[in-house]
Amino acid sequence: MPGDYSQYVARPTKKDSDSVTFGFLLCALTDEAKIVSVKPAESIGNGFSVESTRLATFRAADGITIASPGSPPAGRAGERFSPIAGSSPHSCNDKDQLSEVQIGIRKTGDDGGGWRRAIVEYEVSDRQYSLEIPFGMLICGASTEPC
């Protein structure tokens, strides 16, 4: 289940809401791959809460979320959503579709914070695996880089 990663520090404003949805791409090398869970590998700060996690699948031409205002963010035409547990990302061979793990984070205090890295636990043929995603999903605050 390869992916492409970076780090984003979001500064939500009251007009957008105090929440941001972060998204990272995920695809599967086999149709048998099922996501078990997505959780933080490392988190910082105590001025945030995770509002939602889901898998979104959409046309590649429609662009990716990266960091979008609100939770959930504005949808794309034809976008499909699945709960994380039991969902299957699109095939890595399908260049017309993308699957994105979306994590909605709300700022709850001046400290901000979020996830520095995530762990995607998945299974293939009843065998468990985990994949560390080095994608920082942070809400601006005292615990994060200067914003």
Domain that holds residue 73: 7-139
Taking alpha carbons only, the member of 46, 53, 67 closest to residue 113 is: 46
Determine, yes or no, domain membership for 107.
yes
Question: Tell me, what amino acid is at 99?
Answer: S
Could you give the maximum distance between any two Cα atoms of the chain, in Å?
46
Overall domain count for the chain: 1
pLDDT of residue 2: 47
pLDDT of residue 144: 87
Q: Of the ranges 23-32, 57-66, 89-98, 103-112, which one carries the lowest mean pLDDT score? A: 57-66
Determine, yes or no, domain membership for 96.
yes
Q: Cis ω on the peptide bond leading into residue 72 (within 30° of 0)? A: yes
Determine, yes or no, domain membership for 1.
no
The reported pTM is: 0.87
Is residue 8 packed enough to be buried (19+ CB in 10 Å), middle (13-18) or exposed (0-12)?
Answer: middle
Determine, yes or no, domain membership for 100.
yes
Determine, yes or no, domain membership for 72.
yes
Per-residue pLDDT averaged across 35-44, rounded?
Answer: 96
